[in-house]
Amino acid sequence: MINFIQKEGKKKMIKSFYFRTIILFLTMVACITLVAVFSTLPAYFMSSVKVGISGNKLEVQKLEPVPLPDQQTMSLVQELNQKLNIIEQARKNQFTISKNVISAIILKKIPSIKITDISYQYNSLQEKKVSIQGTAPSREVLLLFRRALEDDVAFKQVDLPISNFVKGSNIKFYLSLIPRPNDQ
């Protein structure tokens, strides 16, 4: 095919093509923006009206006097306060074993002794007791462990029942400790 358009004409045609494409793109962006603005205007006006109405209601409620509670409400509040006081007292009497007691037990443990259970009890006589269960390889090692716990200032009393010494080796023992009040 023969090209009858000169180079200058080709450049003008390409330039006008890009110019028309840019104008078409800008026109489309303007149309889309116009449609978006018109579609969101009702929602904007509705939300601004709702904000105004809720602000007015809030102002009216702030100006209203607060009604005084009646006798039934006051008795309900007192009853709830009594129940909360009972719960708080129960939580105060609850015995939680402290990190100091556990670390004192672990520090005094002889490497050959295996501790399988550490538990604590709180009975009605206000006595707090820590119980340890485990296995010891021999009577002598178990006795050394008991003496180490007795020498520790964290414990007021250490009880090791004589029944733990029946077996000569691989002894399953039960030991109870009463911690001092400041370590609880």
> Which residue ranges make up each domain of the chain?
7-62, 99-183
The pLDDT value recorded for residue 2 is: 72
- Mean per-residue pLDDT for 41-60? 94
Fold of 99-183: Gyrase A; domain 2 (3.30.1360)
- Mean per-residue pLDDT for 106-123? 84
- Residue 171 main-chain phi, psi, to 5 deg: -85, 125
What distance in Å separates the CA atoms of residue 119 and residue 122, rounded to the nearest whole number? 10
Q: What is the pLDDT of residues 57-85, one digit of tens each?
A: 999 988 888 777 788 888 888 999 998 88
Please choose, from the candidates 123, 60, 130, 64, the residue with its C-alpha nearest in 3D space to the C-alpha of residue 102: 130
Here the tokens at position 47 are 């939300």
pTM reported for the whole predicted model = 0.46
Ramachandran class of 126: left when φ > 0, alpha when ψ lies in -120 to 50, beta otherwise: left
Cβ atoms of 160 and 154 closer than 8 Å:
no
pLDDT at 107 over 90: no
- More confident site: 9 or 100: 9
Sign of CA dihedral 170, 174, 180, 182: positive
